Amino acid sequence: MTRALWWRRLDHVQPLLAGMLAVLGLMTVFSAHADWGRQVLWVILGAAAYVAAASFDYRRLRSLAPGLYAGMILILVAVHLVGHTALGARRWLSVAGFPLEPSELSKLLLVVVLAAYLSRGERVSDRLSDRLSWRAFGGALLLVAPPAGLILTQPDLGTTIVFLGVLFGMLFLAGASAWQLFSLVFAGGVALPLLPYLLHGYQRRRLEVFLDPNQDPLGAGYNLVQARIAVGSGGLFGQGWLHGLQGQLGFVPERATDFVFAIFAEEFGLLGSLVLLALFGTLLIRLLRTAAVSRDRFGELLAGGVFVMVLVQVVENVGMNIGVLPIAGIPLPLISYGGSAAITMLAALGLVQSVAVRRRTVDEPVAELGTITRRAQA
Residues of this chain, 116-155, that bind another protein according to CB under 8 A = 127-129
Piece of 50-58, 95-103, 249-257, 333-341 that binds another protein (CB under 8 A): 249-257
Ramachandran region, residue 188 (left: φ > 0; alpha: ψ -120 to 50; beta: rest): alpha
Q: CB 179 → another protein: shortest distance, Å?
A: 16
At its nearest, how many Å lie between another protein and the CB of residue 107?
A: 17
Least distance from another protein to the Cβ atom of residue 114, Å:
15
Q: How far is CA 298 from CA 62, 65, 122, in A?
A: 8, 11, 9
- Sign of the torsion formed by the C-alpha atoms of 109, 111, 115 and 118: positive
Q: Please select the residue that binds another protein; options are 105, 110, 140, 231, rule is CB under 8 A.
A: 231
Q: According to the binding rule CB under 8 A, does residue 12 interact with another protein?
A: no
Segment interacting with another protein, rule: CB under 8 A, options 37-45, 59-67, 114-122, 358-366? 358-366
Q: Which is nearer to another protein, 147 or 175 (CB)?
A: 175
Is the Cβ–Cβ distance between 150 and 192 less than 8 Å? no
Residue pair 330/107 in contact (Cβ under 8 Å)? The answer is no
User: In whole angstroms, what is the distance from residue 106 CA to residue 109 CA?
Assistant: 5
Query: Which of 362, 365, 367, 371: binder of another protein (CB under 8 A)?
Result: 362
Q: Which stretch binds another protein (CB under 8 A): 48-56, 183-191, 230-238, 329-337?
A: 230-238
Count of CB atoms within 10 A of residue 193's CB? 8
> Between residue 277 and residue 336, which ones bind another protein under the rule CB under 8 A?
277, 280-281, 284-285, 288-289, 291-293, 304, 307-308, 311, 314-315, 318-319, 322-324
**Closer Cβ to another protein, 153 or 177, answer by number:** 177
The CA–CA distances, whole Å, from 128 to 69, 296, 302 equal 24, 10, 13
Binding window for another protein (CB under 8 A); candidates: 56-64, 114-122, 192-200, 353-361: 353-361
CB nearer another protein, residue 326 or residue 339: 326
Min CB(160)–another protein separation in Å: 20
Which one, 203 or 273, has the nearer CB to another protein?
A: 273
Largest separation between any pair of C-alpha atoms in the chain: 69
Q: What is the layout of strands, in order, in the sheet containing 89-95?
A: 84-86, 89-95, 98-100
Cβ proximity to another protein, 117 vs 172, nearer residue: 172
The CA distance from 347 to 367, in Å, is 28
Residue from 81, 190, 218, 378 in contact with another protein (CB under 8 A): 218
Q: Which of 246, 313, 336, 354 binds another protein (CB under 8 A)?
A: 246
Residue from 105, 230, 332, 335 binding another protein (CB under 8 A):
230
Residues 158-217 that bind another protein (CB under 8 A): 169, 172-173, 175
- How far lies 187's CA from each of 68, 91, 150, 182, 184, in Å? 28, 27, 20, 8, 5
Rounded Cα gap, residues 302 and 109, in angstroms: 10
Cα radius of gyration (the chain):
21
Per DSSP bridges, beta strands 84-86 and 98-100 are: unpaired
Stretch that binds another protein, among 3-11, 24-32, 112-120, 189-197 (CB under 8 A): 3-11
- Single out the segment in contact with another protein by CB under 8 A; choices: 27-35, 47-55, 157-165, 234-242: 234-242
CA distance 232 to 111: 35
DSSP states of 103-148: HHHHHHHHHHHHHHHHTTT--TT--TTSPPPHHHHHHHHHHHHHHH
Binding site for another protein (CB under 8 A): 5, 8-9, 127-129, 169, 172-173, 175, 218, 226, 228-236, 245-246, 249-251, 265, 269-270, 273-274, 277, 280-281, 284-285, 288-289, 291-293, 304, 307-308, 311, 314-315, 318-319, 322-324, 359-363, 372-373, 376
